[in-house]
């Protein structure tokens, strides 16, 4: 099975960040980056399928030069090769624009299965996978917690609300958007890290794909006007400072005011 | 469907829509859009909508504004707010280009009970401003779909049989999130739960990592709870977590980030490092026994 896994690099959860002076994105200089959480699980799902059924895992990542770090980590974990779509301003892309780049980059690949994460931790649209399926003309399922190969295709387990699940069958090729938690994430081994250095990374410039860039780009249907900190409507009584005192105050309140203990 | 404040209701009916598939829903809705020619199409931000709306919008060259939490009208144009970075930042989005435009609205962002009484359009602050509307006409719409259009085969819905724990019955729940850092630290929270006579709950990443079983997950994919007291420790308060616990009578949050969204739904909070606060809390509870 030839499996493509689309991965995105996002600002690390704990990194220091502020809104950029343009008001349209965040200040990138302050950030550290990591692989998007759901995408790490998508990669894991791809690697497990390859281990069970053979084939190849190709990591696909759009972003500026800094994403080479995330690509290298994917290769170290076991992806066989990678495609890097160089795009300098990923914050400016909406999920349709991103999916157009990814679809164009896959033009010569003809994968059996395309895996994406369900949702990114930065923009959080939760759409790139399903859009990519539409652009590639593939059947799809999202919020998937399990992928099994069977005769003539795959069977996936979709997560629904309130603890419900559903199995869905479909033929290959197909696209599956993976939900966090699909399997235990592996670490890269020393051997894996060594091997990664020799693996192939195909670089394509976004501008050469004929879908982005000021001229060729189809008009955006949604524009982000500004980023801002949400107004917090705090009604909580907060206790700060010395943990011992704060804890004692809280216990007092819970006992005599809220009367819950 | 209650024809509340609606001009018209389309009932889209076809045997192939009985079981949800993204292919059939996209085909049916595209045909309806051609007929109805709406300028804006709104959906609830449910898992099902998340599955087909991106495809529907993309098939028309559009992006949906997913998970919108509020709106305003600026110079006659709709501006939708949505969350970025898991609720740390908001962004205002505006539609560009030709209609139709698409958006999905986050659960809890709008409330039906804030509309005026049945049959009246909402005026300022929900006061009725004009005479009641007559009940909306319901028009049946039969899309053209053939079995060959549908590429996925949905099977029965099911629940995990393992799920034996009903958190809904607990009076007090102590929930732990990613702030706990590693599995080895979970006993710290267990100690607190014990001191409070509480059940242990968790946010999704804790269950994803297998540090606590899935059945303890609180939120849109897990259990919905409303105990007397819900204590969230090292949980940021993402919207998918909040929908599972915000009906709790008293909410307590312990988080080192004073801007964490969890404090918005909390009644009491301690801003601090859980590794210092939780032991202090256990001690204070034992002392006051
Ligand atoms: C379709 C879908 C369904 C989902 N369903 C659910 C669901 O059912 N339940 C659910 O919970 N999530 C669900 N999620 C995930 C959700 O979006 C969040 O990612 C998740 O809730 C975050 O968990 P968290 O708050 O534990 O982690 P984080 O968001 O990483 O927050 C960790 C918090 O810990 C704090 N912290 C760190 N260190 C310390 C310390 N030493 N002391 C004190 N505080 C500290 C940080 O300030 C931060 O606020 C779902 C997501 C999707 C897309």
Place B128 in a pLDDT band, splitting at 50, 70 and 90.
Answer: very low
DSSP helix/strand/coil, A113: strand
* Interchain pair B268, A161: CB under 8 A: no
Place B125 in a pLDDT band, splitting at 50, 70 and 90.
Answer: very low
- Identify whether B267 is part of a domain: yes
* Interchain pair B268, A169: CB under 8 A: no
pLDDT score at A211: 82
CATH architecture assigned to A2-209: 3-Layer(aba) Sandwich (3.40)
Domain range enclosing B233 = 168-288
Complete DSSP assignment for B151-188: --EEEEEEE-TT----GGG-SEEEEE-GGG-SGGGHHH
Average the pLDDT over each of A100-109, A144-153, B98-107, B123-132 and give the range with the smallest value: B123-132
* Interchain pair B153, A184: CB under 8 A: no
What's the pLDDT tens digit per position in B225-237?
999 999 999 999 9
Residue B107 has pLDDT above 90, yes or no: no
What's the pLDDT tens digit per position in A116-138?
999 999 999 999 999 999 999 99
pLDDT score at B158: 94
pLDDT score at B162: 63
Is the separation of the CB atoms in A27 and A19 below 8 Å? yes
Residue B21 has pLDDT above 70, yes or no: yes
Using CB atoms, pick whichever of A17, A134, A240 lies closest to residue B271: A240
pLDDT score at B58: 97
- Identify whether B124 is part of a domain: no
pLDDT score at A28: 86
pLDDT score at A175: 98
My answer on whether B12 and B141 are in the same domain is yes
For residue B261 and ligand 1, the question of a CB distance below 6 A is answered with no
Looking at the complex, report in whole angstroms how far the Cα of residue A167 sits from the nearest Cα belonging to chain B.
5
pLDDT score at B132: 56
Complete DSSP assignment for A6-48: E--EEE-TT----B-TTSSSB-GGG--EEE-HHHHHHHHHHHH
Number of folded domains that form chain B = 2
My answer on whether B13 and B142 are in the same domain is yes
Place A162 in a pLDDT band, splitting at 50, 70 and 90.
Answer: confident
Place B115 in a pLDDT band, splitting at 50, 70 and 90.
Answer: low
Average the pLDDT over each of A6-20, A55-69, A160-174, B185-199 and give the range with the smallest value: A6-20
My answer on whether B140 and B173 are in the same domain is no
Residues 135-194 of chain B with CB under 8 A from chain A are 151-160, 163, 172, 178
Residue A233 has pLDDT above 70, yes or no: yes
Within chain B, how many helices (H) and strands (E) appear? 7, 13
My answer on whether B93 and B194 are in the same domain is no
- Identify whether B227 is part of a domain: yes
pLDDT score at B41: 98
- Identify whether B127 is part of a domain: no
My answer on whether B143 and B172 are in the same domain is no
Q: Helix A37-53 to helix A68-77 angle, to the nearest 10 degrees?
A: 30
- Identify whether B154 is part of a domain: no
- Identify whether B159 is part of a domain: no
My answer on whether B100 and B180 are in the same domain is no
Residues above pLDDT 90, as percent of chain B: 81
My answer on whether B183 and B280 are in the same domain is yes
- Domains of chain A: which residue ranges? 2-209
Place A234 in a pLDDT band, splitting at 50, 70 and 90.
Answer: confident
- CA-CA distance, B200 to B206, in Å (whole number)? 12
Partners of B11 in beta bridges: B140
Query: Could you tell me the CATH number of the domain that includes residue B178?
Result: 3.40.50.1220
List CB contacts of A82: < 8 A, sequence separation 6 or more.
A58, A59, A60, A61, A71, A74, A75, A199, A200, A201, A202
My answer on whether B248 and B143 are in the same domain is no
Residue A64 has pLDDT above 60, yes or no: yes
- Identify whether B109 is part of a domain: yes
Torsion of the alpha carbons at A190, A194, A197 and A199, rounded to the nearest 10: -90
Residue B124 has pLDDT above 50, yes or no: no
For residue B255 and ligand 1, the question of a CB distance below 6 A is answered with yes
pLDDT score at A11: 94
For residue B269, the chain A residue with the least C-alpha distance is A238
My answer on whether B14 and B142 are in the same domain is yes
My answer on whether B141 and B188 are in the same domain is no
What's the pLDDT tens digit per position in A179-226?
999 999 999 999 999 999 999 999 999 989 988 544 556 678 899 999
My answer on whether B193 and B100 are in the same domain is no
């Amino acid at each position: 099975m030839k499996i493509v896994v689309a991965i995105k690099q996002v600002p690390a959860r704990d990194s220091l960040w502020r809104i950029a002076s343009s008001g349209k994105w965040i200040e990138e200089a302050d950030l550290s980056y990591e692989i998007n959480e759901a995408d790490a699980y998508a990669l894991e799902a791809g690697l497990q399928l390859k281990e069970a059924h053979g084939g190849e895992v190709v990591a696909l990542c759009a972003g500026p030069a800094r994403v080479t770090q995330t690509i290298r980590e994917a290769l170290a974990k076991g992806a066989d090769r990678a495609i890097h779509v160089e795009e300098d301003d990923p914050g400016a892309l909406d999920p349709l624009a991103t999916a157009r780049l990814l679809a164009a980059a896959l033009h010569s690949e003809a994968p059996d299965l395309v895996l994406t994460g369900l949702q990114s931790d930065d923009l959080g649209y939760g759409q790139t996978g399903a859009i990519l399926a539409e652009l590639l003309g593939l059947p799809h399922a999202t919020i998937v917690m399990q992928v099994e190969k069977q005769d003539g295709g795959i069977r996936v387990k979709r997560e629904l609300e309130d603890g419900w699940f559903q199995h869905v069958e479909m033929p290959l090729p197909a696209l599956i958007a993976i939900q966090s938690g699909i399997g235990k994430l592996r670490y890269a081994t020393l051997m894996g890290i060594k091997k990664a250095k020799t693996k192939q990374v195909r670089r394509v410039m976004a501008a050469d794909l004929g879908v982005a860039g000021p001229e060729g780009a189809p008009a955006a249907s949604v524009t982000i006007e500004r980023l801002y900190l949400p107004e917090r409507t705090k009604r909580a009584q907060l206790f700060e400072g010395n943990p011992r005192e704060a804890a004692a105050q809280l216990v007092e309140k819970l006992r005599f005011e809220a009367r819950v203990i | 469907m209650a024809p509340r404040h609606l001009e018209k209701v389309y009932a889209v009916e076809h045997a192939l829509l009985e079981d949800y598939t993204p292919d059939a829903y996209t085909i049916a809705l595209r045909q309806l859009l051609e007929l109805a020619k709406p300028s804006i199409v709104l959906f609830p931000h449910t898992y099902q909508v998340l599955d087909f709306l991106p495809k529907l919008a993309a098939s028309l060259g559009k992006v949906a504004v997913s998970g919108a939490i509020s709106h305003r009208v600026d110079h006659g144009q709709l501006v939708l707010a949505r969350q970025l970075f898991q609720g740390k930042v908001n962004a205002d989005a505006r539609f560009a280009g030709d209609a139709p435009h698409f958006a999905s609205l986050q659960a809890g962002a709008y409330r039906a009970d804030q509309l005026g009484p049945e049959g009246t359009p909402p005026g300022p602050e929900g006061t009725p401003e004009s005479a009641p509307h007559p009940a909306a006409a319901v028009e049946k719409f039969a899309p053209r779909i053939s079995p060959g259009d549908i590429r996925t085969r949905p099977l029965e819905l099911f629940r995990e049989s393992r799920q034996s724990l009903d958190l809904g019955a607990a009076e007090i729940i102590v929930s732990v999130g990613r702030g706990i850092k590693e599995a080895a630290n979970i006993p710290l929270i267990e100690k607190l739960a014990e001191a409070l006579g509480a059940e242990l709950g968790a946010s999704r990443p804790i269950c994803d990592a297998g540090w606590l079983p899935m059945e303890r997950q609180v939120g849109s994919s897990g259990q919905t709870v409303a105990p007397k007291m819900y204590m969230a420790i090292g949980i940021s308060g993402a919207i998918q977590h909040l929908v599972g616990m915000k009906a709790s009578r008293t909410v307590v949050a312990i988080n080192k980030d004073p801007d964490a969204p969890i404090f918005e739904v909390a009644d009491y909070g301690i801003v601090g490092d859980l590794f210092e606060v939780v032991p202090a809390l256990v001690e204070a509870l034992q002392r006051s026994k």
